Structure 1
Amino acid sequence: MTYKCISTWLAMLCLGGTMHAQTADSILTYRVEASGNVSNGTYAPLWLSSNRYGLSSVEPNSGYVRAGINFDKELRHNWQIQAGLDVAATANQTADFVIQQAFADFSWKFLRLSVGSKERPGFPLTKNERLSSGMMVEGANARPVPQVRGEIAEYVAIPGTKGWLSLKGHLAYGMFTDNGWQESFVSAGNTYGKNIYYHSKSLMFRIGNRKKLPAEFEFGLLMATQFAGDQLKKKSDGTSELITDMPDGLKSFFKAFVPMSGGSDTPWGDQVNVEGNHLGSWNFAINYYLKDWKFRAYLEHFFDDHSQMFWQYGRWKDGQIGIEITLPKNRWVSSILWEGMSTKDQTGPILYDSFAGSLGYQISA
């Protein structure tokens, strides 16, 4: 596959190819890809650097050569194994060599245990990967976080509901791998985080039975947390001084799962609020099916504190709405999508948790 996009200020060239080797119960896929951006601006255009899982650059000139291999094998008794390795050599990016994906998935029926770094598009609220700007909490702008993750990836009907109520969700713990970037990026006199742990969870429900009624309603919650780690201050001689050593024991893992206030070994802000950095989104969607057409409207309401999470003080304004129409199969257009996003409220200038001094968490993209 080859395509080229040129304007008066930008040239982009991408080359790629995929090969398959298949037996009766297994598939081996190889992929080789190259991409390059050339422009005369200060930064690369937004849509050439976003939604690439961090394998991109804001620099006007950048590129990469990428190779990957994926193995998928079905076993007896509804077991399945999938594994993948995806690496890239880059130019003008945050690292010269990147392990983009390295994972192994073990599945039994609808249950899956996933270990490693893996690109995970549109979860838990399904969005069009090619057209949407992505999820607000865990989007496709940062590199995959290494993690151990248990999940029900697709909706499963709850017994006894006759197919009218289904659910899906996940639970994951991992660790960020941007220590080197954090240390090199921060300037002298400022602080940064290191060895920070990761936790996320979601639970989504779907009401509807397409065999009886051509409409569905989806709703649920996604939460992500940064916890543990160290806060350091970079000195003028290039060395770093430890400021805060956050707890990282079993109790901290539990407090990441159930947000609770921190103990005396955490900063004051975590003691009066919750330990770690918690954020998330409420997610809603309505689907309507008309013969070969599908109409979908969705809302992702982002929150970063209690007032936004529980819609206190009218904190419903931040979020993303979308309307998507999937057309019957044709050679020209498959989907039409409109999205709107607002981040203007941000809890507002008043009625917020008035404290400071917590550990400075940051996700690098």
Structure 2
Amino acid sequence: MLLSNPLLSDLNIGINIPNKSLSYWHQVNRLGVLTNNPSISFSLIRKKESLEFALKSIIYNNKWNKSLIQIGYLSKKINDYELKIGRWNEKLTSESILSTGSLIRGNNTIPIPQITFLLPNYKKIQMLKTQFFIKGGYSHGWLSKGSYIKAPFLHEKYFYLKKQFNNQVELEVGIFHEAIWGGQTIEYGLQPQKFSDYLRVVFGQSASKDAYLGEQINVLGDHLGIWDVAITKTYDSKQYKFYFQHPFEDKSGAFQYFFDEVKQFKIPKNSFDGLVGFELNHKDRKLFSTLVYEYLNTMHQSGSLSASKSDSTYGRDNYFNHYIYQSGWTYKNKIIGNPLFSVGNSKSKNQIYIINNRIKSHHIGVSGYLKSNLRYKILLTKSKNYGTYDDRENFTGNEKKYQFYNGLNQTSALFQFDFIQFMKKIDIQISYAIDRGSFLKDSDGFQLSINYNFSNLSYSQ
């Protein structure tokens, strides 16, 4: 609805009625919403010149007495830049919209509250008579208390560089740096959180003498990130895209191990843990509008500590876990990145953490239009899951009795249909998801979502 003043208001109400059984693709990459009960969501967005305000709230469970503010932010545009405060969802990395998810910042959790200064869109710059484009962001965030005594902080920064060739080919290279710091843990107590400690976190420096010894030897806080590379070619109405995301937990994973392999005249195949994707997009509404294939392999992790020195002098990066911040790269008990990295607990640890980060998976996604107002989406994911190096090598008793010792196979699929403007201003979504394998519990179920648009905006767009 366009109001008489210059503000744009959008209010959406959605009703979701799932089956008793909640399958993998019915619970992941949904911005933290996970419920077997009916739910209603309300959305509001207002814009005026350089200011923007948005709010999305969800009410759920059988008694309708639980609510969640999923989105809530205020932003101010300053020329090409933007200052943003609150919770919001924004696609920052290069993966397909049909992907299993970004390795660093995806849609699996409710957004983390942050204050961010960013350059949201690519800005043209000139370097040595060559034209490039840049974008990036710098953030301070607040993580949840969870199993900690005091909640830690989040430091985030990212930078992307893009080069265009002949107006048809684009090369994008980006790097994300994330750090969990401060707060207070049960085992290690109050962590350094003065301004001088913040600067150490920002620049990846070791801790002062009053910090835990391990932080003095390495760096202060839990540091992690990804390299994100994408090549896109546009041809008429088609767009082809290759993307690769490589996770790292330290300098060896980010730089050193790759160059050490090159110096030894080795093909640096062990340096390339990560997510590889190929995507084909049609700009028109076709039967096959988007097709994607992804391969994920995070088996090496700079090698196991039990490996020989010639094989790896680093080892056991243990993606998304940390010895002080033992809940790892999670928020509200969910992985912040790709949900194939499974969250759980064990007998030896009385809290949630990433129990599975050594994964091989194949994923196919297809979407398109059966009719002009009937869109479909199919996702098929097949994975083999090997747990973690730490849990395997620290397993009490016979290592071969470790749950993930030989790898656990898992297959999950989603079939979704969107009826756009089924009736005037009403969209309907029907989906069916199924799980089969030895990792997750076998399940299947239907979900129904009805959305009424009070404005000219469609949630399906």
TM-score for the superposition, normalised by structure 2: 0.62
3-state SS, counterpart of residue 346 of structure 1: coil
Superposed displacement of residue 96, structure 1: 3.0
Q: CA RMSD in A?
A: 2.4
The C-alpha deviation readout for 1:101-154, integer Å capped at 9, x for no partner, is 110010123201001111122x1x23333x112211111111111111011111
2:47 alignment counterpart = 72
1:207 alignment counterpart = 163
Cα distance, 1:296–1:162 mapped onto 2, change above 3 Å: farther
3-state SS, counterpart of residue 142 of structure 1: coil
Query: How far, CA to CA, are the matches of 2:218 and 2:138 in structure 1?
Result: 23
Superposed displacement of residue 28, structure 1: 1.3
1:82 alignment counterpart = 52
Q: 1:175 aligns with which of 142, 163, 168?
A: 142
Cα distance, 1:361–1:255 mapped onto 2, change above 3 Å: farther
Cα distance, 1:48–1:193 mapped onto 2, change above 3 Å: farther
Superposed displacement of residue 310, structure 1: 1.1
Q: 1:360 aligns with which of 317, 326, 332?
A: 326
1:38 alignment counterpart = 19
Cα distance, 1:265–1:254 mapped onto 2, change above 3 Å: same
1:7 alignment counterpart = none
Amino acid of the residue matched to residue 303 of structure 1?
A: F
Cα distance, 1:113–1:267 mapped onto 2, change above 3 Å: same
3-state SS, counterpart of residue 38 of structure 1: coil
Amino acid of the residue matched to residue 336 of structure 1?
A: L
Give 1:152-301 correspondences, 5 Å limit. 152-159=119-126, 164-176=131-143, 178-179=144-145, 182-183=146-147, 192=148, 194-208=150-164, 212-232=166-186, 243-301=188-246
Cα distance, 1:225–1:23 mapped onto 2, change above 3 Å: farther
Q: Residue 108 in 1 paired to residue 78 in 2? A: yes
Query: How far, CA to CA, are the matches of 2:142 and 2:283 in structure 1?
Result: 43
Maintained 8 Å contact 2:185/2:324: no
Superposed displacement of residue 359, structure 1: 4.0
The C-alpha deviation readout for 1:59-99, integer Å capped at 9, x for no partner, is xx34422112111122xxxxx1111111112339xx93211
Maintained 8 Å contact 1:293/1:325: yes
Amino acid of the residue matched to residue 219 of structure 1?
A: V
TM-score for the superposition, normalised by structure 1: 0.78
Superposed displacement of residue 226, structure 1: 0.5
Query: How far, CA to CA, are the matches of 2:150 and 2:34 in structure 1?
Result: 23
1:26 alignment counterpart = 7
2:411 alignment counterpart = none
Give 1:298-317 correspondences, 5 Å limit. 298-310=243-255, 312=257, 314=268, 315-317=270-272
Maintained 8 Å contact 2:206/2:215: yes
Maintained 8 Å contact 1:193/1:359: no
3-state SS, counterpart of residue 39 of structure 1: coil
Q: Residue 49 in 1 paired to residue 27 in 2? A: yes
Aligned residues: 308
Query: How far, CA to CA, are the matches of 1:63 and 1:321 in structure 2?
Result: 36
Maintained 8 Å contact 1:163/1:208: no
Superposed displacement of residue 360, structure 1: 2.7
Maintained 8 Å contact 1:301/1:318: yes
Maintained 8 Å contact 1:226/1:361: no
Maintained 8 Å contact 1:26/1:72: yes
The C-alpha deviation readout for 1:271-307, integer Å capped at 9, x for no partner, is 1111000100001111111111111101011111222
Q: Residue 143 in 1 paired to residue 110 in 2? A: yes
Extract unaligned runs of 5+ from structure 2. 262-267, 306-312, 335-461
Q: Residue 336 in 1 paired to residue 291 in 2? A: yes
Superposed displacement of residue 249, structure 1: 1.3
Q: 2:90 aligns with which of 97, 109, 120?
A: 120
The more displaced of 267-276 and 159-168 is: 159-168
Higher relative contact order (CA 8 A, sep 6+): 2
Query: How far, CA to CA, are the matches of 2:154 and 2:189 in structure 1?
Result: 18
Query: How far, CA to CA, are the matches of 2:279 and 2:7 in structure 1?
Result: 35
Amino acid of the residue matched to residue 222 of structure 1?
A: F
Amino acid of the residue matched to residue 67 of structure 1?
A: F
Query: How far, CA to CA, are the matches of 1:323 and 1:292 in structure 2?
Result: 17
Query: How far, CA to CA, are the matches of 1:164 and 1:24 in structure 2?
Result: 41
Amino acid of the residue matched to residue 88 of structure 2?
A: K
Identity value in percent: 21
Query: How far, CA to CA, are the matches of 1:361 and 1:228 in structure 2?
Result: 14
The more displaced of 111-120 and 338-347 is: 338-347
Extract unaligned runs of 5+ from structure 1. 1-19, 75-79, 184-191, 234-242
Maintained 8 Å contact 1:268/1:358: no
Query: How far, CA to CA, are the matches of 1:215 and 1:354 in structure 2?
Result: 37
Query: How far, CA to CA, are the matches of 1:22 and 1:294 in structure 2?
Result: 37
Maintained 8 Å contact 2:94/2:230: no
1:236 alignment counterpart = none
Superposed displacement of residue 219, structure 1: 0.5
Superposed displacement of residue 46, structure 1: 1.3
2:99 alignment counterpart = 132
Query: How far, CA to CA, are the matches of 1:99 and 1:49 in structure 2?
Result: 18
Cα distance, 1:331–1:357 mapped onto 2, change above 3 Å: closer
Query: How far, CA to CA, are the matches of 2:67 and 2:56 in structure 1?
Result: 11
